[in-house]
A = this chain, B = another copy of it.
Amino acid sequence: MTSMPIDTTQARALYTKLVLIREVEELIAHAYAEQQMRCPTHLCVGQEAVPAAVGTALRPDDYIFGTYRGHGIYLAKGGSLRAMLAELYGKAAGVTRGKSGSMQLIAPEVGFLCASALVGGTIPIAVGGGLAAKMRGEDRVSVAVFGDAATEEGVFHEAMNFASLKKLPVVFVCENNFFAVYTHISARQCADNIYQRAAAYDMHGVRVDGNDIVAVYEAMREAVAVARNGGGPTLIEARTYRWREHCGPNWDNDLGYRSAEEAKNWMQQEPVKRFERFVTEARLLSADELRTIRERIVEEAAEALTFAKNSPFPDACELLTGVYAP
């Protein structure tokens, strides 16, 4: 018997985040049709294992930087669920008082420093987080989470070079879901080799099954340990799949840009059930425990949604406030 990669505490933490992300995203998908969340919303249903594992592998004081598809890492890093849903509803209790909606979530109190609606935008910003940590002699790690298309932007290259040059405590996590909106990676990139590009930057690169939360967690833990101990950056490519449409709550395989079989295959590799099977078979958690965790989350999510719906909008006079920091 091979040694168990995770223990019960880790299993519980991973499962909690995994299910939290899934349940919240599904709740949003359901509520979105009411047209009260009036902002572009990019769900990560199907991809939850990546943010859940990444968030679990980090300390609260580590930094993370993400994209417009950011609910997953926001929740996994410990951001307030109520404040996130309130933000989607454009309410004053939202993380940014309704000023940035789903695409630019933040939770600075738990190290989620920023997200961007510009593809690739936060990759170099995350490197800056690593630079700050290193300059101050802290053992903090800074993580950039981004999609496959973000690696086509010049800043990806610039950020990789600088992080490696200065041996910064950075982990680059690419969520490769093979698509940029409706365009397959093969129409955008010269090779399907994202993790191998690390070599060009004298950096370790690793590819993992992004629907296997344990695999992502292990790769992430190793990368974080290396970074924390002064060993410099790592690039992790986690291969996964987005279930719903690029932006919005619907299913869109009928558009014909990807095949039903492909989607079906990926859904058979569904990360939540797969992890449930793993932890129960490994007797890390019982089916009962899983049910309890999920029920608590469902309840919490429903409560947060009600809170968000019922909380007040910001006052009109806030339009011109907060442009500049005092």
A165 to B184 alpha-carbon distance, docked (Å): 13
Question: Among the listed B152, B156, B200, which residue makes an inter-chain contact with A199, where contact means beta carbons less than 8 Å apart?
Answer: B200
**Residue from A153, A155, A191, A203 with most neighbouring chain B CB atoms (10 Å):** A191
Secondary structure at the A interface, as helix, strand, loop or mixed, is: helix
Residues of chain B within 8 A (CB-CB) of A164 are 190-191
Tell me whether B189 and A165 are in contact (CB under 8 A).
yes
A167 to B124 alpha-carbon distance, docked (Å): 29
Say how many copies of this protein the assembly contains: 2
Tell me whether B153 and A158 are in contact (CB under 8 A).
yes
Q: How close is A68's CB to chain B, nearest CB, in angstroms? A: 20
A155 to B162 alpha-carbon distance, docked (Å): 15
Q: How close is A233's CB to chain B, nearest CB, in angstroms? A: 9
Q: A161 on the interface (CB 8 Å rule)?
A: yes
Residues of chain B within 8 A (CB-CB) of A191 are 164, 201-202
Q: A188 on the interface (CB 8 Å rule)?
A: yes
Residues of chain B within 8 A (CB-CB) of A193 are 200, 202
Residues of chain B within 8 A (CB-CB) of A153 are 154, 158
Q: A197 on the interface (CB 8 Å rule)?
A: yes
Q: A196 on the interface (CB 8 Å rule)?
A: yes
Residues of chain B within 8 A (CB-CB) of A196 are 199-200
Residues of chain B within 8 A (CB-CB) of A12 are none
A-B contact pairs, 11 of them (CB 8 A): A153-B154, A153-B158, A154-B154, A154-B158, A157-B158, A161-B190, A164-B190, A164-B191, A190-B203, A193-B200, A196-B200
On A, residues with C-beta under 8 Å from B are: 152-158, 160-162, 164-165, 188-191, 193, 196-197, 199-203
7 closest pairs, A vs B, by CB?
A154-B154, A157-B157, A164-B190, A191-B202, A200-B200, A197-B200, A165-B190
